[in-house]
Structure formats: C-alpha cells, structure tokens
Amino acid sequence: MDRLATKITDLTGPGITDRFGVGGTDLGATATAPQGHLVSVFGDTFRRPGVGGPGWRSPVALFADPASLPTGLRWTGSAGRGAHARQLVRYLHHGWRRWGLALRRVTTVLPTDVLTVGDDMYLHVMVCRELGNVRWTELHRSRDGGRTWRPTGTRWPADQHDGLFQMLTWERGGDGWVYALTTGFQRAHGLLLHRVPETAVTDPAAWQTWGLEGGRWGWGHPPTLVLDGRFGELSLRRVPAGDAHERWVLSGFDDGRYRIDVRVLTGPTDDLHVAPVATVLRGCGWDGEDHAGGHVAQLYGGYVLPGSTLRELHLVVSQWNTATNWPYRAMQFRTDVSDLPGLTTRA
C-alpha cells in the first residue's frame, strides 16, 4: 500500500550547510543526545556540492534543534572545532588500518546508525575498501553529546553471520535490551535480528541472535532471516502511535523494488512478512521526479527522525546522481502511516 511522502526541505547543500564545510553528503542517521539536541551522522562528505574534490571526510555529525522537526531540521552546530564539521573517526582515506596483525587498505568509513544509552552515544560504522566491500565493522562512543568520539575497541569481522552483520540499525526496547536488525552492504540480502543488554553493547559475546530451531523461534538460536529481500539502509525506531502507546517502525531501502518501505510493529520480534507496511517513497528516473508526490530519482536511506509519530513520520532520504555527481544530498520527507490495514490502535 502506498503512503507516499512529501518533501519538507533539503537538509544539506549550498546555502544550507556551507558554514560547516558540507557541500555534498548523504545518509543522516539521527538520535537524540543526552543533552536534548539531535545528532545526525552523515557519510562521505565533501566541501563542494557533489562527490569528490577537497574536504573529503566520513563520518561527520551535525546538530539540530528538535523543535525544528515539523518544518525541517535547523542545524545549530557540528562535531569539531568551530563550525567546521570534522571527521569523527581517525583514519586516512585510501590509507591503511590494522586488523589484528595485518594492515588493510581502507577507502572510507561509513556510519550505519547511532544510539543513545544513558549518558553515552554509540556509533556503528563500516570500515570499507570501496562501496560494498566491508573490511570490518566497529563501535565508537561519545560522552559529550556527539561532539567528540572515541573507539570502544569493539570490532566484528566482515563475514560475521555470513556477512549479514555489516549494516545495522538499532533501538532500545525499554526492557533493558537493545534490538538490532542487520544485513550486508551489497544491497543483496535479507535481514537478521539480534539483541544485546544495554549494559553490554560493546561486548560482542553478549549479542544474541534470533532464530528458528526445532520449529520454534527463540533467542540464542542460530540466526535465521526474518525478512527476505535485497535491503540497503535501515532505520528501526519506537514512535508514539497516537493512542497513548508506542509502535516500532522499520524504514528500509528495498533495492530489489527500488523504493523505501515502512513497516509498523508492536515489537521487534513481530513477523516482518505480515506486519502492516506502506511504500512511502518510490524510485524513478530523473525526468519523472515528483518530490511532492513521493517519487525520487536515485533515492536511498530513509532514516526515522526523533520526534516522529505514526501520523507525522519524518525521514532523512538521500539522493545521488551518479552520472553528474549532483544532486548528492540529504532531504527531509514526511508521511502518515497511522491508518495502515491491519494496524490496530487502542483509544
């Protein structure tokens, strides 16, 4: 079912993020910092509009006023000295980083999602040699609201769970656990579900997989796909449902169908095959764009913004014209998924 989103505004680009040294960028996974401001983390970033040229860094973070959500995020600052958004992870593009005893060639480090637990913020990133080729993944932590980040030392190999623990989205469950959906970075795979105690996010041994064994689903079973498909960027968040309760929403870029879908769940272990779902954005050719009607050329991303509800669901969506390298930007869209067939609410 379509619930096509409407564009609110461009979030990055000329006249919007120049003061942060951000001309072209993408992604934009966002969380609320312990201090209350929003922290949006972007991927490959360049000083000029487009892809390439000076000022290449990734990831970078911009800060926003949460009250600006309805009309489009208003940036108030960035991670770095002064206004310039600095690279959050210390490395050199096209340089070398150590994995065990070996040195590995690294092109870029890309963020997948950011999470706040208590006074800490955690950033999960993919260490890559070119797009789709993940060397390993790792966690970084901020204890000052996203202004500075340090490695936690937590790393996972690229082939963790047969390569389906590369791209991650996560959310606190309100029950002491963090739940995460993961896939590969090739836009060719389905999703796995995991959980970890909030107090042990940085301990790989504490992560549990959700799987089907002996005809029963359970935690600690060998991981089983919870949704087939060819997925890219993911965003799992709890949002108010308008009935004094919350729902979980999963926004995901479906490369196989060239669209962004939103699924509405009562909990992270819901059957994703039968959960209420809406297509909120459809990919199209450059001559068929209609940002007011939910058609976007070369789209990806789809990160749920804090402050969203089912009726007012705001997403950060990326667009990259790979032929001309502009537009290469993040945009904010809004949709309503409060009335999907099969979605029950309580008065």
Please state the separation of Cα 135 from the chain's center in Å.
19
Q: Which residues of the chain have pLDDT under 70?
A: 345-347
* CATH T-level assignment (fold) for domain 6-335: Tachylectin-2; Chain A (2.115.10)
pLDDT, tens only, 307-347:
999 999 999 999 999 999 999 999 999 999 999 998 875 43
Specify the long-range contacts of residues 147-152, CB closer than 8 Å, at least 24 apart.
Answer: 147/79, 148/79, 149/79, 149/88, 149/89, 149/123, 151/89, 152/122, 152/202
CA dihedral 311, 173, 179, 59 (to 10 degrees): 70
101/40 Cα distance (integer angstroms): 34
Q: Which two tokens stand for residue 59?
A: 């990831």
- What are φ and ψ of residue 282, in 5° steps? -120, 135
The alpha carbon torsion through 263, 268, 270, 276 (nearest 10 deg) reads: -10
- Cis before residue 34, ω within 30 degrees of 0? no
Helix (H) or strand (E) holding 60: strand 60-65
How much is the pTM? 0.97
Q: Which of 112, 116, 60 is nearest to 83 (CA)?
A: 60
pLDDT at position 243 is 73
pLDDT of 205-222, one tens digit each? Answer: 999 999 999 999 999 999
Could you tell me the two tokens for 292? 């007011």
Residue type, 224: T
If you compute the radius of gyration of the chain from its CA atoms, what whole number of angstroms results?
Answer: 19
| Nearest partner of 251 among 215, 281, 285, judged by Cα | 281
Write a three-state SS string for 134-202.
EEEEEEEEECCCCCCCEEEEEEEECCHHHHCCCEEEEEECCCCEEEEEEECCCCCCCEEEEEEEHHHCC
Q: Which two tokens stand for residue 239?
A: 């949002």
Indicate the SS3 state at residue 68.
Answer: helix
Single-letter amino acid code for the residue at 93: H
Q: Which residues contact 264 (CB under 8 A, 6 or more apart)?
A: 247, 248, 249, 275, 276, 277, 278, 310, 337, 340, 343
pLDDT digits (tens, 9 = 90+) for 170-181: 999 999 999 999
